[in-house]
Amino acid sequence: MTPESIQAMLAPLFPGLMGVQLTEVAPERVAATLTVRPDLCTVGAILHGGAIMAFADTLGAVGTFLNLVS
């Protein structure tokens, strides 16, 4: 699977809403970026902990998915 094909699956879901952009997908490694926007931040322009955890959870889920389908 390519980053683009998995990105298309994520686009209409919460990770897409957050702006998660996959850059590398393989069973042994998943990498992505997330732009820190004001709507993802808490007081003091600090990225909200929930956003950090959702980002990490998404990458873990993609890695799990890749290992289950390979």
Q: Where are the domains of the chain?
A: 3-65
Q: Which CA distances in Å does 46 have to 11, 25, 39? A: 24, 28, 10
pTM over 0.95: no
* Distances, alpha carbon 43 to alpha carbons 8, 21, 23, 47, in Å: 32, 25, 29, 9
Phi, psi of 4, deg, nearest 5:
-65, -40
Superfamily of structural domain 3-65 = Hotdog Thioesterase (3.10.129.10)
Tokens 């909200």 found at = 48
According to DSSP, the residues that pair with 29 across neighbouring strands are 26
Q: What tens digit of pLDDT does each residue of 26-55 get?
A: 999 999 999 999 999 999 999 999 999 999
Question: What does the pLDDT average to over 19-26?
Answer: 96
